[in-house]
Amino acid sequence: MNSLKIRFTENEMKNEKTPAEQLVFGTKFTDHMFVADYTEGTGWHDHRIVPYQALTLDPSASILHYGQTVFEGMKAYLSEDGIVRLFRPEQNMKRMNISADRLSMPQIEEELALEALKQLLEIDKEWIPKEQGTSLYIRPFMIATEAHLGVSASKTYTFIIIMSPVGSYYKEGIHPVKILVESEYVRAVAGGTGTAKTAGNYASSLKAQEVADREGYAQVLWLDGLERKYIEEVGSMNVFFKIDGEVVTPALNGSILDGITRKSIIELLKYWGVPITERKVSMEEIREAFLNGKLDEAFGTGTAAVISPIGELRWKGELFYVNNGETGELSQKLYETLTGIQRGVIEDPFGWVVELKK
């Protein structure tokens, strides 16, 4: 691992920055991007930070037909103290390699990728918005580039990091959303690619989301593909419930993404001494908890929203309200603590935060 391996070409044409309040998620990108190429036999080469620019791909490039691609999502925060912070970035790089293995793609050099990210952040530091709730969204991804129409693993790949300033997920403060429990479509099944952060899972989810949108729901809740009974994820987030004082979340079963926010919440709850169990959670259990007045709280977790409280669930025509459609106490506390740690305003007892040199 040698940071000198990274060549730098400056962007002479600086892009104009958008005021924080006008930022739309994932539409505006910083001046530079990191790129490295992989060739079978040679390995990774040509590590470079270059002006943000279009990619050129042969029309037969493997990614366009056979979908070999993996990605990660993470954020950099700039606080009042002028320090740039990352949240558990090594976990993202590690997970990217787990995803890559499932997709028959090469392993990235985790430490070098992290070093590249730090250099890229240093170069595009001015792009990190400072305002409360804002951040710089970071998207590392790898695509298969071989010009070959054949169902086999590509012999060449490109690894890229792009970054996008994003506004506050909650423009008017954290608030609960309405969720539709999906009965027709399935996100993933054990033996498939559900545990990998790969394009196919997201492509597959759009149709259900379309229906949910139409019916006025923010996201769908995915049930297992086998029995259509057990809860898996909500939208592209992991999901937690507080039932009769106990917090439960679906156990990692081979079709659920091993979320970094999910993992952090479990660790935080244990640290606080709040009972938390990873196990199978059925919709029938949620229904009964609701009917018995024991469905205290429900929330999705992920990098984009951190915590997304659920105020209402619709399942087979029945409506289950959670905490009278208000954000629960625990959801609020988890949100404030996690975002506080991420921004450096709350002490980090776990060593999660990586501070960049000023």
Q: For binding to its own copies (CB under 8 A), which residues are involved? A: 25-27, 29, 33, 52-61, 63-69, 71, 101-104, 137, 139, 141, 143, 147-153, 160, 162, 164, 184-193, 198-207, 209-210, 225-226, 235-236
Q: How far is the CB of 256 from its own copies (least distance, A)?
A: 15
Residue among 176 and 235 whose Cβ is closer to its own copies: 235
Q: Are 26 and 164 in contact (CB under 8 A)?
A: yes
Tokens of 343: 């921004």
Q: How far is the CB of 340 from its own copies (least distance, A)?
A: 26
Q: How far is the CB of 336 from its own copies (least distance, A)?
A: 26
d(CA 83, CA 344): 9
Region at 306 (left for phi over 0; alpha for psi -120 to 50; beta for the rest): left
Region at 228 (left for phi over 0; alpha for psi -120 to 50; beta for the rest): left
Q: Are 57 and 137 in contact (CB under 8 A)?
A: no
Report the relative pairing of strands 318-321 and 306-315 from DSSP bridges.
Answer: antiparallel
Residue among 13 and 54 whose Cβ is closer to its own copies: 54
Measured CA angle at 21 (ends 19, 25), to 5 deg: 95
Q: How far is the CB of 278 from its own copies (least distance, A)?
A: 23
Residue among 236 and 337 whose Cβ is closer to its own copies: 236
Residue among 225 and 311 whose Cβ is closer to its own copies: 225
Q: How far is the CB of 211 from its own copies (least distance, A)?
A: 10
Residue among 50 and 274 whose Cβ is closer to its own copies: 50
State the DSSP code for 252.
P
Q: How far is the CB of 326 from its own copies (least distance, A)?
A: 26
Residue among 56 and 324 whose Cβ is closer to its own copies: 56
d(CA 112, CA 181): 41
Q: How far is the CB of 246 from its own copies (least distance, A)?
A: 30
Q: Are 286 and 292 in contact (CB under 8 A)?
A: no
Q: Is the dihedral of CA 42, 162, 261, 343 positive or negative?
A: positive
Question: Rounded to a whole number, what is the distance in angstroms from the first to the last CA of the chain?
Answer: 23
Residue among 198 and 301 whose Cβ is closer to its own copies: 198
Instruction: Specify the amino acid at residue 216.
Output: G
Residue among 58 and 131 whose Cβ is closer to its own copies: 58
The Cα-based distances of 76 to 106, 125, 159, 167, 303 in angstroms read: 26, 10, 19, 12, 11
Specify the residue for token string 């595009």: 124
**SS3 of 21, please?**
helix
Q: How far is the CB of 299 from its own copies (least distance, A)?
A: 18
